Chains A and B, each alone.
Chain A
Amino acid sequence: MDSSITLTVHGMMCASCVAHVEKALNNVAGVKTAQVNLATGKVTASYDNQATGLIEITQAISDVGYEVAKEEITLKVSGMACAACVGKVEKALGSLPGVTDVTVNLSTGNVRLTAYAGAVDIAAVKAAVRDLGFEVLERMDTQSELDREQEAREDEIRRQRRNMWLTWPLGLIAMIGTMRHMWGLDKFIPHFMGNNYFLLAVTSPVIIFGGWQFFVHSWRGLKRGVTDMNLLYATGIGSSYLIAVINTLWPNAGFGGKNATFFEAAALLTAFIVLGRYLEALTRGRTSEAIRKLMSLKPKMARVVRDGGDIEIPADEVEPGDLIIVRPGESIPVDGNVTDGYSAVDESMLTGESIPVEKKEGDTVIGGTINKTGTFRFKATKVGKDTALAQIINLVENAQSSKAPIQKLADLVAGHFIMGVHVLSLIVFFFWFFVGFDLFFSPGGRFLLSTGTLETIGVFGFSMLLSLTVLVISCPCALGLATPSAIMAGSGKGAENGILFKGAEAIETTAKLDTIIFDKTGTLTRGEPSVTDVIPTGAVVAAELLRLAAIAEKNSEHPLGEAIVNGAKEKGLSVEDAKSFNAIPGYGIEAQAEGKALLLGNRRLMESKNVDFGAYVSQVEELERMGKTVMLIAIDNNFAGLIAVADTLKETSVAAIEQLRRMGIEVGMLTGDNQRTAEAIAAQAGIDYVVAEVLPEDKASEIIKLQAQGKKTAMVGDGINDAPALAQADVGIAVGSGTDVAKETGDIILIRGDLRDVVSAVEVARATMNKVKQNLWWAFGYNLLGIPIAAGILYPWTGWLVSPQLAGLFMALSSFSVTMNTLTLKGFVPSFKKKQAIA
């Protein structure tokens, strides 16, 4: 049987780490797929649970040098009386997949579990305890995933900030000291600051305390045969420091002597790398802000009615069927149906709808939304992982963890990057040592943005510095972050607007769409008929005609009758009960009301009752041509007028289609309805391409025909009825599913039924893919340009050389700029939302 697990893994720094973890997991027998998201630090593996398990998976990750994050869960259990009970609880909980340690304290009843983060469901833990006959009194403390993630990020920020406080002041002192003999600065800078032993004393703490982390990480990886970004840092920092120490202690060793110590290079290189790590820790978390926002919506407490009173309990203790009270300003803890009370609820955080939605008895409420005005009670229907919010979080997380096809090249390059760079570094060393130095070296040359010359440096020092700079300037981090960080920000931006992308591939394909096909009923139209025309003959006014028709239809269960009754109610007309009512199948109805004999139906009904409506035949035919259903009404056997009913377009459909066409996308419609009605609706919506009278099962073949013409096609429809067509399309867009997102087919789920969200989905996808492309161009371009320059390719002609510290600065800015570029997506607003905001 197939299982899937998502684990949080610490220690992954760059795209090489991603490749290593994926490779390690794919080598585990039984693992079918493994995907790593560097930006979130999440690893998702699907596996055959008969062939392998969590132990093998976590072991494989540990084996390549990374740490699988753990969480601690504390429960209070009552009913344990002796050591045997303790043993039973420990054994039962210890056997749950993902649990690594269980400690039971008999005297306090506290049970503390350590488990792989995300692998254990708290409900399963409680069920296991209850199955043993004990009671779980309360959950004392469970650190949420959000808290853990934030804590880990804050720890990293704190650690790097502390390192910066050490490395930067000392690095700057080292730089000032090294520059003492330049530009006449010796008049201002004390003599001792230029002393190599002073510089050694200043630089050593920078390397030992600030740079130690890179040596430890890279050694840990190397021991297991794994290389990562830390290795580049460690080799760069270590080598430049070593040269400086040798030139200080043994100035005649031939490394350039006492004037070429490069202490500032070692110190500033470390400082820049630490700065890069700090900026990365600061910004990386911000790309996942959307999911963080969604997670923070999870209410902590619920006020539940128990034994006649109301008590506050943790929201995840609520069970289906519980009655919950929500007061103004409070969050709704779980999903449910309002039983009494009235209020307006702000659902914008989940649906993107900015106007609060009114809630009354019978309406559904969504957990995580905020009650604005009144107090109401509701019955819980969905709790825990079944709530809409949990499903949305799950969907967005999965999308963020998935990989876009465009990432494949970056992954391929990044997987071999570190080793490739070391090989290149070796080649560069050989070239400059055996060939380049003799041919091109000029003693007057200097590093870019530096005043010191290289006159005292020898063949080994020169070759090694260039070889070293190649290691330092190269940056696989930018490559690794380019796509996932943008996908993460893009899927988050979608979720903010009620658009749920099911994966990175959906975003990539949506950005390429050139054709969008809409289903008619319920997608372009409201899906329920409504009154469009009321035409009286003059014997009665329009409102009276509608009122009488509604009275006649009040007891009818026919959808057209319901449309007339609703139409009358919407106009504020009072609809009394008819005295008598009789349905005439295939014709219409007859009723008695207010002393009048009412007839309501089609032409055949009028003809059978000898009612003359000849003067209105042309009007009837005109309305029918427009795709409307016309009902004729007679009062006391005299023709009184006609009422037309039709399934009308949603208010937003025309604007959405107009905008899609403006964006260069062809728009079409597929419907099972007759040609005349279909054409009428298409004309109103501004759609040229219409295929009518298509059975639901044939819709998929219509999509295939379009795809055969080379069109990237999306199908927009009901996620359940149009499932085959949604699945066939390059992108299936399920509209108006409300919040039951889990059961939907489709690559994109729109929570609301507003077709403008289709436009927004395309806009978000295009903006996201633009960012991905910009990031990839930058990351590839930076490395393709930076590495050859660092290798000294321009030196023979221009004399330009990049110093290790300058290379360190470039490298730090490279991945930072990718993340910063991605963060500009945060300011992206879909065009319709922008218009709404202006209005």
Chain B
Amino acid sequence: MSTESKIAKISAAWYLGISGGLALVFYYVTTLQNFPAVARFGGAVWVFILTIIIAMPVVIPRIKKKYQ
């Protein structure tokens, strides 16, 4: 496995993990209140999208720095 693809995979694991994690937390919190299912699912997806956009530029350079 080349360094590039190794970096890409490790980075993906991190930013997907962070985004997925936050989306799950969001979903969990919404289940504690009386939100409609669409809001719960849709909200979780929106949180996932925004978080992945925030996480990618933070995670990728750090992983690159670590492994290059």
Contact = CB atoms under 8 A, between A and B. Distances in A.
Contact of B39 (A226, A239, A423, A459): A459
Contact of B54 (A239, A254, A426, A464): A426
A463 B35 CA distance: 13
B38 A222 contact: no
A429 interface: yes
Main secondary structure on B side of the interface with A: helix
B60 A460 contact: no
Given A225-B57, A426-B54, A467 B46 contact: yes
Given A225-B64, A227-B57, A460 B50 contact: no
A460 B57 contact: no
Given A425-B50, A426-B50, A426-B51, A254 B38 contact: yes
A222 B54 contact: no
Nearest to B59: A225
16 contacts: A225-B64, A227-B53, A239-B46, A239-B49, A254-B38, A254-B39, A254-B42, A419-B54, A422-B54, A423-B54, A425-B50, A429-B46, A433-B39, A464-B42, A464-B46, A467-B50
Contacts of B57: 222, 225-227, 419
A459 B36 CA distance: 9
Nearest to A463: B43
B56 A222 contact: yes
Interface of B: 11, 29, 33, 35-39, 42-43, 46-47, 49-51, 53-54, 56-61, 64
- What 5 pairs across the A-B complex have the smallest Cβ distances? A225-B60, A254-B38, A460-B39, A460-B42, A426-B50
B14 to A, nearest CB: 11
A254 B54 CA distance: 27
A429 B47 contact: yes
Given A224-B60, A225-B11, A225-B59, A458 B47 contact: no
Interface residues of A, number: 25
Interface in A226-246: 226-227, 231, 235, 239
Contacts of A458: 36, 38-39
Contacts, number: 69
Interface string A235-264: 100010000000000000111000000000
Contact of B43 (A253, A422, A433): A433
B30 to A, nearest CB: 8
B38 A255 contact: yes
Interface in A380-423: 419, 422-423
Nearest to B43: A460
Contacts of A423: 54
Contacts of A429: 43, 46-47, 50
Contact of B53 (A222, A253, A255, A464): A222
Contacts of B37: 254
A467 B61 CA distance: 27
Interface string A431-464: 0011000000000000000000000001110011
Residue of A224, A419, A425, A460 with most chain B CB atoms under a 10 A cut-off: A460
